[in-house]
Structure 1
Amino acid sequence: MKNSIKKITAVILLALVTFSFTTLNEKKEIKVDKSKIVWKGYKVTGSHEGTIAIKSGYLTFDDNKLVGGEFVIDMSTITNTDLKGAYKGKLEGHLKSDDFFGVEKHPIASLVFTNVKATGKNSYEVTGDITIKGKTNSITFDLSVYGNKANASLKIDRSKFDVRYGSTSFFDGLKDKAIYDEFDLIADLEF
């Protein structure tokens, strides 16, 4: 009986010590219907912009501090918001084609946080692996968190993901038909 009490006491003490040094991360799912990603691409003669939907995602917190996250983007939802009618449909179709994002073969893109560093009370520098068209590259960006909302601005070099159409990185002599390699994503998230 005495040995049993000692063993139970030892197990309880071990459990308490283990839990006191273990952090419990809280995964907060992104509310995809209340979150929004806006894209903006630039060309010599102007720019275009639109939206793209988050399929799923979450941010991970430890004691209310951001420590991780992961997102899946539904590439089939890429839309244009600055054109109307036939021009809008034509651009959306072209963006989904193999010239750009090859949505039929690559229906999702993803972002997995690999490192998060606090840079202020509500701000973080995030490094992650972003996958577009089956190619993965590292990206670093700033993310801010306020209550149950977060926002981030990312600048992505499409040439790193084999998105070649109109790129001066792959083609010479494009002149005013050139499309710049970098495009912007602005994410407003709610969780």
Structure 2
Amino acid sequence: MKKTLIAAVFSLLMGGYSFANTIDGDKKEVKTSSSTLTWKGYKVTGSHTGTIGIQSGHLEFDGEKLVGGEFVVNMTSLVATDLTGGGKTKLEGHLKSDDFFGVEKFPTAKLVFTGVKSAGKNAYEVTGDLTIKGITKAVTFEVAVFGSKATADLTIDRSQFDVRYGSGSFFDNLGDKTIYDDFKIVADLEF
């Protein structure tokens, strides 16, 4: 009797596990060559903009409803688009250095959706685990899906990922050298 009860419980748990981890829908790979991530960072005296490449990614759908997703970002592809010449080279090198994203040690960043809630027609509120510099934090952002395209806007607090350079959260008396902690990422995705 005891063995039968244990077998029944094990079978029920394993069956429930298999059911809970099955997504009844489509996994759509993001076209990395035609999708873009644009970043914008702010400082007291202005801002800088640029792009960063998606290494891989997919969105998961149940019918036409967004239910999940995962992305890997190639941090080594980070470029500034608002500068040219030596200023561009200097900024890109600094952003890739250990002062900021340490891309030699951390060449990728990752975002894994952990929750998706409908926020209206074609709109979703997404919660995900974002990993930058080996540190994972929860983020929440909006995603809009139209046909085979999706857009998202994320505001990321770099101080949560140990990106301290020029941060007023860590250093006093920076004056006009202060770089704000929040930076923005705008994603335009095709799948």
The TM-score with structure 2 as length reference comes to 0.88
Question: Which runs of no fewer than 5 residues in structure 2 stay unpaired?
Answer: 1-18
Specify the alignment match of 1:9 in structure 2.
none
Partner SS, residue 95 of structure 2: helix
Specify the alignment match of 1:167 in structure 2.
167
User: Structure 2 counterpart of 1:71, which letter?
Assistant: F
What does the per-residue CA deviation read over 1:106-160, in whole Å, with 9 as the maximum and x for residues that have no partner?
0000000000001111000000000000000000000000000000000000000
Specify the alignment match of 1:146 in structure 2.
146
Equivalent residues in 2 for 1:18-57 (5 A)?
A: 24-57=24-57
- Residues 174, 129 of structure 1: CA spacing in aligned structure 2 closer, same or farther, 3 A cutoff? same
What does the per-residue CA deviation read over 1:139-182, in whole Å, with 9 as the maximum and x for residues that have no partner?
00000000000000000000000000000111000000000000
Partner SS, residue 27 of structure 1: strand
User: Structure 2 counterpart of 1:135, which letter?
Assistant: I
Distance 1:61 1:173 in 2: 49
The TM-score with structure 1 as length reference comes to 0.88
Equivalent residues in 2 for 1:77-88 (5 A)?
A: 77-88=77-88
Which 4+ runs in 1 deviate beyond 3 A?
none
CA apart distance, 1:24 = 1.9
Distance 2:23 2:182 in 1: 38
Q: Answer with 1 or 2: which has the greater Rg.
A: 1
Partner SS, residue 87 of structure 2: helix
Partner SS, residue 103 of structure 1: coil
Question: Which runs of no fewer than 5 residues in structure 1 stay unpaired?
Answer: 1-20
User: Structure 2 counterpart of 1:155, which letter?
Assistant: T
Distance 1:39 1:136 in 2: 19
Specify the alignment match of 1:70 in structure 2.
70
Specify the alignment match of 1:15 in structure 2.
none
Are 1:134 and 2:134 counterparts?
Answer: yes
CA apart distance, 1:25 = 2.0
Distance 1:124 1:110 in 2: 20
CA apart distance, 1:23 = 5.9
C-alpha RMSD over aligned residues: 1.1
Point out the more displaced range, 68-77 or 22-31. Answer: 22-31
